[in-house]
Structure 1
């Protein structure tokens, strides 16, 4: 695992979600009620970017077929998929948001 810079806390002031790509992995980092969470950015049903989805509280809805995922845990809450998203550790340090992503 290695840590990857996502954004500064100031950059998150203007956005609820920021997407990063590390190798072939796409990750969405969310700020939910002042806490930061990172999940796979690709829906487990079909290819769609969850960072383009509708965010409501701690959930994100896929923009393609409306699968609903818990941002905090990656768990699917409503179909059409039953496969959870991978989650990643997030750390805040010196005003920077970073994510731990497997190599």
Structure 2
């Protein structure tokens, strides 16, 4: 797939080289701050702000497919957005991801 074939809803978030295995980074797509994760070769994208308090998940601790909020240690599944433990109770928005060439694209309008 080429960039020309992407629907206009897809926004470039980062270069794939910016994202190391087992890490989370902050990125911006469509003027919105998101968190990007790479786990076992797969790339995932979520909203970067915890649903419990205003903390950046990109500054949290990634353990497998769970991100731990740096503020109160609530955890989310980065694949589904599901809140895994208190104090978080509200799911985290997750976004579809496509890798095109050397770039990571997300579809913000399709948050799950």
Q: Same fold (TM over 0.5)?
A: yes
Encode CA deviations 1:14-51: one digit per residue, 9 max, x unaligned.
Answer: 7722222333x321111111001111110000000000
Partner of 1:59: 66
Q: Give the TM-score normalised by structure 2.
A: 0.82
Provide the secondary structure at the position in 2 that maps to 1:97: strand
User: Is residue 6–residue 18 contact of structure 1 (8 Å, CA) maintained in 2?
Assistant: no
Write the distance in 2 (CA, Å) between the matches of 1:71 and 1:4: 19
Write the distance in 1 (CA, Å) between the matches of 2:55 and 2:74: 10
User: Is residue 24–residue 38 contact of structure 2 (8 Å, CA) maintained in 1?
Assistant: yes
Q: After TM superposition, where is structure 1 displaced by more than 4 Å over at least 4 residues in a row?
A: none
Q: Which runs of 5+ in 1 are unaligned?
A: none
Write the distance in 2 (CA, Å) between the matches of 1:48 and 1:70: 16
Q: Which runs of 5+ in 2 are unaligned?
A: 1-7
Q: Decide which structure has the larger Cα Rg and report it.
A: 2
Aligned positions, number: 102
